[in-house]
Amino acid sequence: MMNKVFVLGSVNMDMVMQAERMPLEGETISGTGFLLNAGGKGANQAVAVRKSGGSLKFCAGVGDDVFGEQLVNTLREYEVDTENVRTIAGTNSGLAQITVVNGDNRIILYGGANESLDAEAAKKFLAEAAKGDIFLIQLEIAPAVVLASLKTAKERGMQTILNPAPAQNFRSEMLNFTDIIIPNEAEARCISGKEDVEEAARLLSEVVREVIVTVGEKGCIYCCGNSLEAFPCPRVKVVDTTAAGDTFCGAFAARLSRGYSVKEAIGYAQKAASLAVTKSGALQSIPSESEVLKTTFRIA
Ligand code: RIB
């Protein structure tokens, strides 16, 4: 039996500059490549759900500007249902200025329409959810809306997954309505106050049922109750890590919604995320289920 995955979150236009190094303060350097593509943690996770064969519902906001129209059209090309993607009058679409050096990225985000998505829209969106459906959310929309929608999702008997990215929007009350939390290393440190990642995972698991900390090329740590397990990651040639975490979250949620166990879902999500880092960009780097299943991986 397949449950639905409800993703609420951001859509951004990503302006990606590739360079050999970061410029110093006051310095201008030449880039080695440029991409303009759709992204945003919400949209990336939604596409990852679809590409992993999940039944998806998606809610987001775009501006009434030229990027807004392009973003909605791109989502449709990726077979994301845009019924709940609102064009918010008087706003600009979310923009991410991304610099990629040696495969790693640095991002400055302009929230735009993402920040105008309100709790009412989220509530209306979740009214269609049934008990057992999955709610997947990140933190590129207003923290108050995240909190309200996590509460609504729990009231509706959904399984809630929080990807606390970016961590600056995290509020500890969110944990009370979260079943599974998926931070990366830096986010786990930031929200737990613990430097050691295992300690951070254990501390979070005192409040949240299941904790998965993604640790880049080292894989991830899964903590549930007293047990803590490390999952090494497949080895790949890294081109661009943008959207790797989103691919993990979306692929994981899709797998869970299709009845796989948490550990099985982690195994699949790691493979999907590993393939995502072998390509540039956000949405366009997310692999389909058939690509994941036909690839032979070398585990580190
Ligand atoms: O997680 C990657 C995403 O973060 C990018 O697509 C960018 O839009 C930023 O939101």
pTM above 0.95, yes or no: yes
DSSP-derived secondary structure for the chain = ---EEEEE---EEEEEEEESSPPPTT-----SEEEEEEE-HHHHHHHHHHHTT-EEEEEEEEESSHHHHHHHHHHHHTT---TEEEEETT-PPEEEEEEEETTEEEEEEE-GGGGG--HHHHHHHHTT--TT-EEEE-SSS-HHHHHHHHHHHHHTT-EEEE---SGGG--GGGGGG-SEE--BHHHHHHHH--SSHHHHHHHHTTTSSEEEEE-GGG-EEEEETTEEEEEPPEE---S--TTHHHHHHHHHHHHHHTT--HHHHHHHHHHHHHHHTTSSSSGGGPPPHHHHHH---EE-
Note the pLDDT of residue 103.
Answer: 87
Residue 65 CA, ligand 1 centroid: distance in Å: 19
Residue 96 beta carbon below 6 angstroms from any ligand 1 atom: yes
Catalytic residue selected from 14, 133, 240, 246: 246
Three-state secondary structure call for residue 8: strand
For ligand 1, pick from 17, 37, 41 the residue to mutate: most ligand atoms within 8 Å of CB: 41
Note the pLDDT of residue 47.
Answer: 98
Class of domain 4-10+41-60+116-299: alpha beta
Note the pLDDT of residue 1.
Answer: 74
Q: Which two tokens stand for residue 55?
A: 């039944």
DSSP state of 251: H
Cβ-contact 1, 258 below 8 angstroms: no
Note the pLDDT of residue 298.
Answer: 84
Cβ-contact 105, 131 below 8 angstroms: no
Q: Which atom of ligand 1 is nearest to the CA of 105?
A: 2
Note the pLDDT of residue 99.
Answer: 96
Per-residue pLDDT of the chain (300 residues; tens, 9 = 90+): 799 999 999 999 999 999 999 999 999 999 999 999 999 999 999 999 999 999 999 999 999 999 999 999 999 999 999 999 999 999 999 999 999 999 888 999 999 999 999 999 999 999 999 999 999 999 999 999 999 999 999 999 999 999 999 999 999 999 999 999 999 999 999 999 999 999 999 999 999 999 999 999 999 999 999 999 999 999 999 999 999 999 999 999 999 999 999 999 999 999 999 999 999 999 999 999 999 999 998 876
Cβ-contact 238, 279 below 8 angstroms: no
Burial of 15 (0-12, 13-18, 19+ CB in 10 A): middle
Q: Which atom of ligand 1 is nearest to the CA of 242?
A: 2
Q: Establish whether 246 is a catalytic residue.
A: yes
Distance CA 70, CA 93 (A): 10
Residue 232 CA, ligand 1 centroid: distance in Å: 24
The domains of the chain are located at 4-10+41-60+116-299
For ligand 1, pick from 246, 277, 286 the residue to mutate: most ligand atoms within 8 Å of CB: 246
Q: Identify how many contiguous H helices and E strands the chain contains and give both numbers.
A: 9, 15
